Amino acid sequence: MSAMFVFDALGEIRLTHEMDLIDEILDSGTDAIGVTLCDPKTYGETAYREALKAVLAYDRHIEHHSERLSKATSVEDALRAEKDNKLAIFYQFQNATPLQRDIERVDLFWKLGVRSIQLTYNYQNYVGSGCRERDNRGVSEFGRELIARMNAIGMVIDTSHASMATMADAIEMSTQPILVSHTGCEAVHSHIRNTTDENFRKLAEHGGVVGICQIRPFLTDKTTDNLSAYFDHLDHAINVAGIDHVCIGSDRDHRVIEDNPEEIRILQEEEGAQFQPEHWPLYIKELNGPRRMEVVLEGLEQRGHSGSALEKLAGGNLRRLYTEVVG
């Protein structure tokens, strides 16, 4: 087990996961994970209702498995969970749609324990433009108001899935460092979900942190023998943004995903038209499972990152951001 604090900026801890899976995640050295609570593709009041239900469901789940899981609303909570050998769970929404245009809902979800909200998902909402919109628009006036409220209350602003203009606007407007929890490097592999070097530099200049994801199509076209592509993205982000501004943001289910038609069917149901058969497999083989963080840390060491640099990448940078913003 790693002695450092290991923090995945965004992963999936599902309510259906068995506790032996959690045991493996913990044994691999992972201490904390930012978890998406509800489907980011929902809009209107449905998004609000589903968000409320998800918070309550995760609260019940964590309470029922309190010997292994711990809800974290501060860095102190996460460090306490680490000492108790529990997995710290930070609540996160991957879209601002649960808020609709009601800014007071930021305070409501804060009280319920949500500590990060992604401004947009793939498409336009009241806040700004997603990465799949035809127009590369920036943050709206409501978005500006939302950013100010999230800054004031101490909630992490995440711009994953945003258009590059929305991301750049948010970085400039925020008085606190922001997070891009899961993305790849556009300069390494061109993909609609990846981030430009220009925004990496802007993010770093404002103290932010970028998490490099483990979704295979974002990183490489190669479907096999492709682990090096993941580390190529990490190294590029480090070279552009600096060692103090990069973290791990897997964007992955932590179970082993089997290569079979049933898993493809489930994914098609979840993702709809956004998923095409040629995207399969979404995972990189060596990172497909609950012990993936061991592979990541070993790979970073082989790339020459050790000591304090490795500690920063594993979770230190993300811990710093959460400490500055959330407390």
pLDDT digits (tens, 9 = 90+) for 40-85: 999 999 999 999 999 999 999 999 999 999 999 999 999 999 999 9
Alpha carbon distance 85, 82 (integer Å): 5
306 within 8 A of 59, measured Cβ to Cβ: no
Q: Is the pLDDT of residue 301 over 90?
A: yes
pTM, two decimals, is: 0.95
280 burial type by CB count under 10 A (0-12 exposed, 13-18 middle, 19+ buried): middle
For 264-274, write each residue's pLDDT tens digit. 777 777 766 67
The Cα 29–Cα 236 span in angstroms is 25
Q: Which amino acid is at 38?
A: C
**Mean pLDDT computed over 126-147:** 95
The confidence score (pLDDT) of residue 3 equals 67
| C-alpha–C-alpha distance, residues 304 and 310, integer Å | 9
Q: Which residues of 221-250 are buried (b: 16+ CB within 10 A; e: fewer)?
A: eeeeebbebbbbbbbbbbebbebebbbbbb
Per residue in 43-54, pLDDT tens?
999 999 999 999
User: Is pLDDT larger for residue 105 or for residue 255?
Assistant: 105
Share of the chain above pLDDT 70, in %: 97
Q: Write out pLDDT tens, residues 147-171.
A: 999 999 999 999 999 999 999 999 9
Task: Sort strands 179-183 and 87-93 into parallel, antiparallel or unpaired.
Answer: unpaired
In whole numbers, what is the pLDDT of the chain averaged over residues? 95
Three-class SS state of 41: coil
Residue 249: which residues within 8 A CB-CB, separation 6 or more? 8, 9, 10, 34, 160, 180, 181, 182, 183, 210, 211, 212, 213
Q: How far is CA 9 from CA 33, 134, 226, in A?
A: 6, 28, 22
Among left, alpha and beta (phi > 0; psi -120 to 50; other), residue 34 is beta
In this predicted model, what pLDDT tens digit does every residue of 11-43 receive, in sequence order? 999 999 999 999 999 999 999 999 999 999 999
pLDDT of residue 103: 97
Question: Quick one: what percent of the chain has pLDDT higher than 90?
Answer: 88
- Rounded Cα–Cα distance for residues 168 and 32 (Å): 28
Q: At what angle do helices 44-64 and 104-111 cross, to 10 degrees?
A: 10
Q: In one letter, which amino acid is 213?
A: C
For the record, the structure tokens of 80 come out as 């306490």
Question: Over the Cα atoms of the chain, what is R_g?
Answer: 18
- Is residue 182's pLDDT more than 60? yes
Q: Residue 170: what pLDDT?
A: 98
User: What is the pLDDT at residue 1?
Assistant: 37
CATH of domain 7-325: 3.20.20.140
Residue pLDDT, tens place only, 194-218: 999 999 999 999 999 999 999 999 9
